[in-house]
Amino acid sequence: AAEAAPFRFAARPVRFPREHEFFEDGDVQRHLYLQDVLLQVADVPEKPRVPAFTCQVAGCCQVFDALDDYEHHYHTLHGNVCSFCKRAFPSGHLLDAHILEWHDSLFQILSERQDMYQCLVEGCTEKFKTSRDRKDHMVRLHLYPVDFRFDKPKKSRSPASPGAGTQALAEVQGNSGEQSEGDAMEICTEPVVASPAPAVERRTYSHRSVPDLFLKHVLNAC
Amino acid sequence: MGGVGEVGAGSLRDGPQAKQGSGTHLRRLEGSMRTLVGLLTSNQALLQLEAARCLHELSHSEQSTVAEACLPATSYLLTYLSSHSSDFIELCLYTLGNLIVESEAVRRQLLPQGIVPTLAACIQSPHVAVLEALGFALSQLLQAKEAPEKIIPSILASTLPQHMLQLLQPGPKLNPGVAVEFAWCLHYIICSQVSNSLLIAHGALSTLGLLLLDLAEAVQRTDDAGLELLACPVLRCVSNLLTEAEVETVGGQMQLRDERVVAALFILLQFFFQKQPSLLPEGLWLLNNLTAKSPSFCTSLLSLDLIEPLLQLLPVSNVVSVMVLTILCNVAEKGPAYCQRLWPGPLLPALLQTLFLSDTEVVGQSLELLHLLFLYQPEAVQVFLQQSGLQALERHQEEAQLQDRVYALQQTALQG
């Protein structure tokens, strides 16, 4: 009797799909809110300034007068740093991959027998025989750039005399213009620091890494 | 502070605004982008920030060609989302969000580049500003026209839904700015109807129901403009979720049983009435979905004395009138026990008033309600006649869409 013709009412829950005009008013308000938010984001805020201070990390002499700048500097340059070669990485994940692939002799040995080079893209678990294969995968499947900065192939080094070793290392460090720009330690721009300092740094750098070269040489010779 | 670099980045920012659209311009843009990416990925932190801001500014361009020129930077923007510098992450997220909106080519690249797992990792950040930016970027991604087929399934398969719901849990840790973004994200997912049962299984209904209670409380406490920005998507989510089959058949936690929701909803309706009447239909939509198949929610309406407040909304607009009348039909349809509590009272006079309106839909819904009222509460007929009900009906007997029902009611009235 309730739904008897000509009456047609039937209680039912209503569903509105995407793009339904019912949503128009609320959507407009959301859009206006977002415009405000985005304007605020684009506005570079006046940074609160503090008395100038120097980065306390050994060997770094950057000076700052804003804490946000320092925070970013610290994370970028001193955060995920390889203790072997001093390269800085944006994340712990990339640093771990680098240490494994560049500085772990066991990794080298294992990689001769199984696929060890892990895809660097978050969420992908594929592994590859060589770093070249991995790069191909990242370029083709994940549309990564061919020259992705955080996946540099390791350069092969000529076997050792200490002199040659140092030279090979300098090659690795300052190889292409791009690489040195990305990997070199932060060069002090403050006039306060004497200009020979960078050269001194570099020598210390190579001194620390020579034992690694010797180890490689020894392994190769066996 | 890397003076030359800064000047370089600055001029890149101004450059593209110059001659737009020419081939040389695009080639120049490509070259500039290589430089910009180089600066972005350098270890000079301040240059990096400057380059990121430049990129962010470019991302505001309304030309999809400019967005596409930023394609070489996207893998780095994603990589930096795993870094530890929260300001930088925030900037990258807003940039990504803008680029996502502007260009399908950008989205087509970001998906294989792993944006979904990256966001799923990034959403665990404790920084409020990062979460708000992430919610924004995600909401843009979810609005893409290809989202239901190409994007939402992988989002539902990730840990993002659980984290989103966690960020919507009411309580002292709830951040309104963050909640707004993820409420909208949920809305875009839910109204795309890809796999809402999954969200229900994660407890979406109970979380959002509790959030509604929280919102009603908040609305009474502060005069805060802006709460409707959160209320709107939450109402939409709950309304749409209530139409899912699971909700009707499965019992227990998955359903929304809490009758405090009805009281909360009325507080929100009141709030909308005063601050944002255009959102009244959204609130009434939920009330319809709550009452349509549930006698207990209908009882709540009656026992909380909410009929009169509901009737007070009738004059707002035709859309609101139709919805109010539909909800009253939901109640009346439940049978005599319900109609008994609808009459006597303000209902009949209100109905007589709506019959004097001209909108066909409003009148049509009034006729349906009258029919139910006469069916289950025949005493109402007499009063109807005494208050010139027949004359009110006569006004519509020529209207094609209303004729049959007008006639039927006239017959009922004359016989009763």
Hey, are the CB atoms on A142 and B114 less than 8 Å from each other? yes
Domain co-membership, A189 together with A133: yes
Percent of chain A with pLDDT over 90: 42
- Domain presence at residue A58: yes
Please give the mean pLDDT across all residues of chain A. 74
| Chain B neighbors of A90, CB-CB under 8 A | 79-80, 82-83
- Domain presence at residue A27: no
Partner residue opposite A73 with nearest CB, options B45, B288, B329: B45
Question: For position B103, what pLDDT does the model report?
Answer: 92
* Residue B405 near residue B364, CB atoms below 8 Å: yes
Q: Give B37's pLDDT tier (boundaries 50, 70, 90).
A: very high
- Domain presence at residue A32: no
Cβ-based neighbour number of residue B262 at 10 Å: 21
Question: For position A215, what pLDDT does the model report?
Answer: 38
Number of domains in chain A: 2
> How distant, in Å, are the alpha carbons of B273, B331, B378 from that of B326?
19, 9, 20
Query: Which domain covers residue A53, as residue numbers?
Result: 46-79+207-222
Question: For position B225, what pLDDT does the model report?
Answer: 67
| pLDDT for residue B188 is more than 90 | yes
Q: Which of B238, B200, B195 is nearest to B216 (CA)?
A: B238
CA-based nearest distance B292→chain A, Å: 5
Tell me if chain B has a CB within 8 Å of the CB of A57. no
Tell me if chain A has a CB within 8 Å of the CB of B289. yes
Domain co-membership, A119 together with A134: yes
Give φ, ψ of A65 to 5 degrees.
-130, 15
Q: Which of A103, A99, A64, A101 is nearest to A81 (CA)?
A: A99
Domain co-membership, A142 together with A195: yes
Q: Which of B161, B235, B152, B266 is nearest to B204 (CA)?
A: B161
pTM listed for this prediction = 0.85
- Domain presence at residue A9: no
ipTM higher than threshold 0.85 = yes
Domain co-membership, A189 together with A135: yes
| pLDDT for residue B29 is more than 70 | yes
| pLDDT for residue A84 is more than 70 | yes
Candidates B44, B55, B234, B368: best to mutate against A (most CBs of A within 10 A) is B44
Tokens of B282: 């959204």
Distance in angstroms (rounded) separating the CA atoms of residues B313 and B309: 7
Hey, are the CB atoms on B288 and A14 less than 8 Å from each other? yes
Domain co-membership, A200 together with A211: no
Domain co-membership, A95 together with A120: yes
Cβ-based neighbour number of residue B240 at 10 Å: 25
Domain co-membership, A67 together with A101: no
- Domain presence at residue A84: no
| Chain A neighbors of B87, CB-CB under 8 A | 68, 71-72
Tell me the average pLDDT across B154-170. 97
| pLDDT for residue A179 is more than 50 | no
Tokens of A13: 């829950």
Domain co-membership, A71 together with A141: no
Tell me if chain B has a CB within 8 Å of the CB of A186. yes
- Domain presence at residue A7: no
Domain co-membership, A68 together with A100: no
Domain co-membership, A97 together with A58: no
Hey, are the CB atoms on B114 and A17 less than 8 Å from each other? no
Among residues 12-51 of chain A, which lie with CB inside 8 Å of chain B?
Answer: 12-18, 20, 22-23, 25-26, 29-30, 33-34, 37-38, 41-42, 44
Domain co-membership, A145 together with A193: yes
Tell me if chain A has a CB within 8 Å of the CB of B38. yes
Give φ, ψ of A128 to 5 degrees.
-135, 160
| pLDDT for residue A50 is more than 90 | no
Candidates B43, B60, B338: best to mutate against A (most CBs of A within 10 A) is B43
Cβ-defined contacts of A176-185 (< 8 Å, 24+): A178/A147, A178/A149, A178/B38, A179/A152, A181/B38, A181/B42, A182/A149, A182/B41, A182/B42, A182/B43, A183/A87, A183/A88, A183/B43, A184/B43, A185/A59, A185/A60, A185/A86, A185/B43
Among residues 141-180 of chain B, which lie with CB inside 8 Å of chain A?
Answer: 148, 180
Domain co-membership, A97 together with A200: yes
- Domain presence at residue A41: no
- Domain presence at residue A86: no
B295-340, pLDDT tens digit by residue? 999 999 999 999 999 999 999 999 999 999 999 999 999 999 999 9
Question: For position B138, what pLDDT does the model report?
Answer: 98
Residue with tokens 């009138």: B321
B49-70, pLDDT tens digit by residue? 899 999 999 998 888 888 999 9
| pLDDT for residue B171 is more than 80 | yes
Tokens of B313: 């909304």
